[in-house]
Chain A
Amino acid sequence: MIEIQNLKKVFEGVTAIEDISLKISKGEVFVLLGPNGAGKTTTIRILTCIIKPTGGIAYIDGMSIFDESKRIRKISGLLTENPGFYERFNAVDNLRFFSKLYGMDENIIDEDIKEYLEIFHLWERRYEPVGNFSKGMKQKLALVRALIHDPEYIYLDEPTASLDPETSKIVRDFIRELKSRGKTVILSTHNLTEAEYLADHIGVLNTRIVAMGTPEDLKSRIFGKRVVIEFQGDADKAKAIMEELRVVYQLERGKVIILNPGIKNSVIVGKMVENGLDVDYVYEERHSLEEIYLRLVSNHG
């Protein structure tokens, strides 16, 4: 479990993050959403013990980032925003080097490298200098580097950036598989569809945490529940019914939109039918994560 308490980081007088407190349960996919400069990378760097916070504290599996940074780094895997490699080395040599730094057993390093390179379709090109790789191939290799030592906590900063759609899908499916293996994934992304697809919880970050919850929670919290009833008939009658039911509503041509109804849809529909209105459709208005994100970020920008 990751527990963050009042985390703050100031770089030369500029506040990167402030008063961040949250808990991430073991085995969940937590998505950090936020615009550029919101503090996503800084948060990840603090949690992976690369830099120290100016204030606050974080615990990973009960271990303090101040006192047990070496142990924390051992159980963490990091995909950095701009992953770099030794371009004159091949993929295997690059991975061997990092595996050794993670203290992996020499006997299993090569087996694990093979397994991961095959998953990401890089095995055939394992002996080519990484400098010859495309951006997407390097991104996949960086992902392998983050996972090679089988970490419990995996921090992925824009994992599908610069990947083609097919490889992005492989990565997304793999993240889901990691979750099913009980790994905790902290994902920073601008890709809202990806966030919605993968996230158990989302934290919208804009120096501070401006909202947090499951994707569904965020939707209902930001826009509320909006039930749309499309009907045919007298609009005044519909208006009178809504007034009688004391709901917050908005009447448009051929439809009434009810905000957080508090009454069962069947009761509202029953009343409308009783009063001679023809109800065609009843549905809940859906908002995309993008709308929620843009609303949150613009409110706290």
Chain B
Amino acid sequence: MDRSQIITIYRKDLKEILTLATVKYSFIFFPLIFLFIMLFIILLTHNALLANNQLTDIAKLRFFSYMATNYLIFFGIIPLSLASTISSYSIVGEKTQRTIEPILATPIEDSEFFIGKMLAPFIPTMIATYIVAIFYTLFVDYLSLSFGGLVFPNLVWYVIILIFIPFSTILMILLTLIFSSRALDPRSAQQFSAIIIVPLLVVFIMSMTQYAITSFMVVLMSVLIIIFDIIVYRIALRIFNREIIVSRWR
């Protein structure tokens, strides 16, 4: 595998993404709005605990830690939403612009093309997510000092931020790219990206509302997601069909 080919595709895609004003601003404003909502929620939680005179500081810290850790899973919504929009257009965009055939005529391999296409939505969305997550982490720790301790980083934080969210994002990008490569028109690709995010969001919300997120649970979920990533990547490469891409586009 030639890394320079992957980087060439990635850089081109990133540049293309950033020339679209709507995408550029959604990269700034969506995470920013999300951050303010999260900071507001955690601040409300903190203030409610602070006003409670029946709990000891240790109990308050424990409850605050439980809530702040559970909220972490919501940070997956940022990359999932941003990346799904970009990756749904990724290969369809090459077809619409009729640049796919000249690309496939170059010595690029399918895997290099696919990974380059994956990185283009992945890296910027993860950067945006990490910036927001860092602010959240610092804010939570600042608030938790009033209960006499620090919440983050803990094991769940590491697993969710460094493993679960990135690999969930990769899974979502892979699924969207598969559909994008096989879509026969741009509209169906966009519809698919809107649909695919729903089950993933349901998983996020369920995990938030039903159970306390334990380190065992996130490790297990992360391992499953990584296994899914590997399987879906292999399927994606196997069904990436140059012939369908160049000859069946409407």
Contacts and interface: CB of A to CB of B under 8 A. Distances in A.
Given A45-B246, A97-B8, A101-B5, A86 B16 contact: yes
Interface residues of B, number: 27
Interface in B211-245: 242-243
Interface string A70-112: 1101101010101111111100010001101111000000000
A51 interface: yes
A45 B100 CA distance: 13
Interface in A33-68: 45, 48-52
Nearest to B19: A88
Interface residues of A, number: 31
B97 A102 contact: no
Contacts of B247: 11, 45, 51
B102 A78 contact: yes
Contact of B107 (A51, A83, A102): A102
A201 interface: no
A100 B4 CA distance: 8
A145 interface: yes
A50 B242 contact: yes
B22 interface: no
Given A11-B243, A51-B243, 7 more contacts: A45-B246, A50-B105, A80-B98, A82-B98, A84-B100, A89-B16, A101-B107
B184 to A, nearest CB: 13
A59 B82 CA distance: 45
Interface SS of chain B? helix
Interface of A: 11, 45, 48-52, 70-71, 73-74, 76, 78, 80, 82-89, 93, 97-98, 100-103, 142, 145
Given A83-B102, A101-B8, A51 B97 contact: no
B12 A97 contact: yes
Nearest to B4: A100
Nearest to A48: B105
A80 B101 contact: yes
A145 B102 CA distance: 9
Nearest to B93: A86
B16 A84 contact: no
Nearest to B5: A101
